[in-house]
Amino acid sequence: MIAVLGVGPGLGLSIAHRFGREGFTTALVSRTDARHATYRASLAEAGITAHTYAADVTDEAQLGAVLDRIRTDAGEIDTVYFGPADQGVGAAMAPLPEAGVDNLRVPFEALVLPAAQLTQAVLPRMRDRGAGSLLFAGGLSGKYPMPLLGSFAPASAALRMYVLTLNEALRDTGVYAGALTIGGLIKGGDIHRVFTEQDHGFTAGTLDPDDIAERAWSLHVERDEAEAEFIGVTA
Q: What is the pLDDT of residues 156-198, one digit of tens each?
A: 999 999 999 999 999 999 999 999 999 988 885 444 344 454 5
Given a contact cutoff of 8 angstroms between Cβ atoms, the answer to whether 93 and 152 are in contact is yes
Domains within the chain, CATH numbers bracketed: 2-231 (3.40.50.720)
62-89 tens-digit pLDDT: 999 999 999 999 999 999 999 976 555 5
Please say whether the dihedral angle defined by the alpha carbons of residues 177, 65, 51 and 189, taken in this order, is positive or negative: negative
Strand segments (E) across the chain: 2-5, 26-30, 50-54, 79-82, 132-139, 175-183, 185-186, 206-207, 227-231
pTM: 0.91
Mean pLDDT of the 133-162 span: 92
Angstrom distances, CA of residue 129 to CA of 37, 64, 222, 223: 33, 20, 19, 17
Q: How far, in whole angstroms, is CA 78 from its chain's centroid?
A: 16
Residue type, 196: T
Number of other residues whose CB lies within 10 A of the CB of residue 233: 9
